[in-house]
């Protein structure tokens, strides 16, 4: 059974769309359709119901899905084990990372890595940290370089690389910036623009303010920290951003009672073998800590 056909089947099943599966596999939509059709012909059963633009698994597709996933995971584990034995750092390394880490932390690491290991083909995917952790657990990514989860996730190994202290920020002309004796409760009188509530960063903020019996009044939420920075700079509200992003467009508030920090680092599946390429990147990341 062709593993490429199985991979196409699993991607369509996960995304619910042939077009989205094609984007994630870097293929054309007809190529994905052809691979799924070939698998259906080989099995003699339809794997998807196609009603308009909606795609759903048939009973046969739902039965096949876990076995297809296990088969590809076993094959990938074998490839990684062989790469370890050979001692050659080469092949494909699939990584998921957030936009913030990819823009502000990873460039010098990846530059050094690609210079040292030119035979590795990097497949770098930008996504929310939470989605990257789930993709690692599903076997879709070998490594995630992310904001680390606040609580341990089953079968997910984590390694801290960068501490990332956070600051409560406003625009320089915001009323809170001119207030001399500032208390955390003063923030409640002003709207906030914060990371989306499903993100680890949002949970860190909520937890810190809950300890003070405060609930931020959220005007707007987005997952992109660069967008939050812009919204704060034009005066739409206060926010919490990494101190590394501070510049003249922002004013950091002094709130000794509020200590905020998140941890950035690497995650991988505890029960799956790591390739030599992944181990080499983890070694390089450890030098950053």
What's the CA gap between 155 and 223, in Å, rounded? 26
Chain centre distance of CA 10: 20
pLDDT of residue 74: 82
Per-residue confidence in pLDDT tens, the chain, 289 aa:
688 999 999 999 988 889 889 988 888 999 999 999 999 999 999 999 987 778 899 999 999 999 998 888 888 777 777 766 666 788 889 999 999 999 999 999 999 999 999 999 999 999 999 999 999 998 889 999 999 999 889 999 999 999 999 999 999 999 999 988 899 999 988 999 999 988 999 999 999 989 989 889 999 999 899 999 999 999 999 999 999 999 999 999 999 888 899 999 999 999 888 888 999 999 999 988 6
pTM score of the predicted model: 0.74
In a domain, 185, yes or no: yes
pLDDT of residue 93: 93
pLDDT of residue 86: 61
Q: What is the number of domains present in the chain?
A: 2
Could you say which of 44, 71, 98 is where a domain stops? 71
In a domain, 65, yes or no: yes
Write out the residue range of the structural domain in which residue 66 sits: 1-71
In a domain, 85, yes or no: no
In a domain, 276, yes or no: no
In a domain, 283, yes or no: no
In a domain, 155, yes or no: no
In a domain, 182, yes or no: yes
pLDDT of residue 85: 66
In a domain, 159, yes or no: no
pLDDT of residue 1: 66
Q: What is the DSSP letter of 253?
A: -
CATH number at residue 204: 3.40.190.290
Could you say which of 48, 71, 94 is where a domain stops? 71
pLDDT of residue 15: 87
pLDDT of residue 32: 93
What's the CA gap between 255 and 99, in Å, rounded? 28
Element (H, E) at 263: strand 261-269
Residue 26 structure tokens: 């870097």
240 contacts 215 by C-beta, under 8 angstroms: no
What's the CA gap between 70 and 62, in Å, rounded? 14
pLDDT of residue 203: 92
Could you say which of 52, 71, 90 is where a domain stops? 71
């Amino acid at each position: 059974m062709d593993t490429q056909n199985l991979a196409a089947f699993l991607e369509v099943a996960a995304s619910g769309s042939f077009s989205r599966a094609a984007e994630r596999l870097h293929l054309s939509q007809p190529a994905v359709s052809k691979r799924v059709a070939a698998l259906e012909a080989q099995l003699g059963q339809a794997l998807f119901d196609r009603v308009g633009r909606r795609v759903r698994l048939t009973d046969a597709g739902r039965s096949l899905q876990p076995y297809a996933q296990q088969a590809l995971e076993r094959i990938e584990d074998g490839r990684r084990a062989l790469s370890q034995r050979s001692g050659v750092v080469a092949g494909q390394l699939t990584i998921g990372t957030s936009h913030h880490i990819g823009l502000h932390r990873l460039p010098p690491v990846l530059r050094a890595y690609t210079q040292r290991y030119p035979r590795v083909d990097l497949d770098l995917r930008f996504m929310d940290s939470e989605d990257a952790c789930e993709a690692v657990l599903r076997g879709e990514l070998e490594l995630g370089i992310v904001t680390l989860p606040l609580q341990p996730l089953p079968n997910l190994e984590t390694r801290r690389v960068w501490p990332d202290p956070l600051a409560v920020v406003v625009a320089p002309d915001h009323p809170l910036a001119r207030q001399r004796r500032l208390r955390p409760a003063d923030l409640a009188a002003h709207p906030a623009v914060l990371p989306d509530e499903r993100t680890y960063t949002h949970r860190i903020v909520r937890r810190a303010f809950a300890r003070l019996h405060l609930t931020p009044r959220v005007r707007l939420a987005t997952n992109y920290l660069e967008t939050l920075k812009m919204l704060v700079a034009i005066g739409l509200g206060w926010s919490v951003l990494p101190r590394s992003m501070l510049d003249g467009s922002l004013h950091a508030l002094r709130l000794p009672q509020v200590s905020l920090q998140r941890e950035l680092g690497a995650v991988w599946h505890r029960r799956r073998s790591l390739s030599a390429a992944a181990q080499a990147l983890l070694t390089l990341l450890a030098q950053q800590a």
